[in-house]
Amino acid sequence: MRKNGDKKVGDIESENQDIENKIKELARKLLREKEVDVIIGYTKGTVPLSSSPVFITNEEDVDKLLWNNLCYVNLANYLAPRIPTLYDEEGQKLKVGIVAKGCVGRALIHLAVENQINFENIKMIGISCNGIINRKRIEKEIGEREILEISILGNNIIVKGRDFEETFPFDEYMNELCKVCKVKSPPNVDGSCVGECLENPVIEDDFNDISDFESKTSEEKWAYIKDTLSACTRCYACREVCPMCYCNLCFVDQNKPIWFGKTTDFTDIFAFHFNRAMHLAGRCVACGACSSVCPMGIDLNLITRKLEKIVKERYNFTSGIDKETVPPMMSFNINDKEEFMMEED
C-alpha cells in the first residue's frame, strides 16, 4: 500500500480506474440531466507519454474520457479569456462541465477572482488527483530509444519499446510539485463542484522542497539558475500552456516599445523567465504544466515555488482557494510587510 499523507491508498492502477469510472459516471449524469452542454476532459494521446484534451457533447461519447497519470495539461486553459466563449447554434453560451483535479480547480477559481470567467456556466467534475508522471525525466533515462507504449502496473510505470522494457517506481517519477501538493481536489465554490471536492480548505505548506535551494549562497543560486535556464530556446511553450498567461499581447511580443531582446542570449532568456515569474506571483496554482511541456526538460517550478512561498509568508495568501479574497498584487494594505525592500538574510 502507498501512503498519501496519512491516508493509505491502493495501487495506482486501481486508483486510476476508480477515478476514470467516477468521471464517466458524473459526465453522463450532467449531460443526461442537461446541467451542462459540453464536457472538457482528457482522452488518449496520439503518442506515448501524453494525453489529449477532448470536448464531449453527446452522452454516447463519454467513454472517450479517461484518467491516467499523463493528464498534465491544465484544462482551465481552455476557459481562459483568450479562448473564444463556447456558444450553441442559436448564439447562447454553453454550460461547461470540466474535469478538475486540484490545480485545475484552483486555476478556474483564480480566473474568476480576476473576473475572467463566470462560474454560473461552469460545473467542475472534481477528482482527487494521484499525481502526474515526470515525462521528461523518463524520456531522458530512455535516451534515443523510441517509446512505443507506456502503462501503469500496480505502483510501477512500465515503458516499452521495440527491443526494451523498463520499469520505473511511480512515487519516484512523479512531478516534484505533485509530491508536495496540498490541494488534490478542487475547492468547492458556490456549489460549482460535483464529485471529489474540498470544502473550506486550509492550506499548510512547509515548502521543504525548496529548502536545499534556499540554503545556497547567492553565488550558488545564480549558478544554479543560470545552468537551469541556459538550455531554453524561447519556444514559449510554458507561456502557452499556462492558464494565467492570458494577456492578448505578451510583454515579450511587444514591438513598441521593445522591453526585452528576442534573442537566445542568456540575458534575454533570463529576462523572459523572471519577468513572467513575477507576473505569476500570487497567481501560480502549482499545476506544473509549464515544466511538463518544456521540450528541453527545464523545471521552472523552483522559481514559481519560491515566489509562492514569499507570497504566503508576506501576505498569507494561497491562489485559487476561494474567490472572495483578492490577490496581493491586486490590492493594497497599509500594514503590508515591506521587508522585500531589504536584502534577504
pLDDT tens-digit map of 209-252 = 999 999 999 999 999 999 999 999 999 999 999 999 998 888 88
Look up the domain containing 10 and give its range.
Answer: 2-341
pLDDT digits (tens, 9 = 90+) for 286-300: 999 999 999 998 988
Q: Which three cell numbers stand for residue 48?
A: 506515448
C-alpha cell at 130: 494521484
> Residue 184 — φ and ψ, nearest 5°?
-75, -30
Reading the block at residue 204, the C-alpha cell is 499548510
Radius of gyration of the CA atoms of the chain, in A: 21
Which residue is listed with cell 521587508?
A: 339
Which of the four pLDDT bands, split at 50, 70 and 90, describes residue 262?
A: confident
**83-87, 282-286, 320-324, 325-329, range with the lowest pLDDT:** 83-87
- Residue 4 has what pLDDT? 45
CA dihedral sign of residues 82, 102, 43, 300: positive
pLDDT: which is higher, 148 or 4: 148
- What's the pTM value of the predicted model, to 2 decimals? 0.90
Number of other CB atoms surrounding residue 250 within 10 Å: 16
Mean pLDDT of 8-33: 90
- DSSP state, residue 282: T
Q: For 91, which DSSP code?
A: S
Residue % of the chain over a pLDDT of 90: 70
Work out the average pLDDT over 339-345: 60
> pLDDT class for 5, splitting at 50, 70, 90?
very low
Distance CA 275, CA 259 (A): 11
Q: Hey, what amino acid is at 194?
A: V
* Count of CB atoms situated within 10 Å of the CB of 220: 11
Q: How confident is the model at residue 169 (pLDDT cuts 50, 70, 90)?
A: very high
Q: For 18, phi and psi rounded to 5 degrees? A: -65, -45
State mean pLDDT over 247-260. 84
Is 123:97 a contact under the CB 8 Å cutoff? yes
User: CA angle 309-311-315, nearest 5°?
Assistant: 130
Please count the structural domains in the chain: 1
Q: Note the pLDDT of residue 94.
A: 85
Q: Which three cell numbers stand for residue 112?
A: 474568476
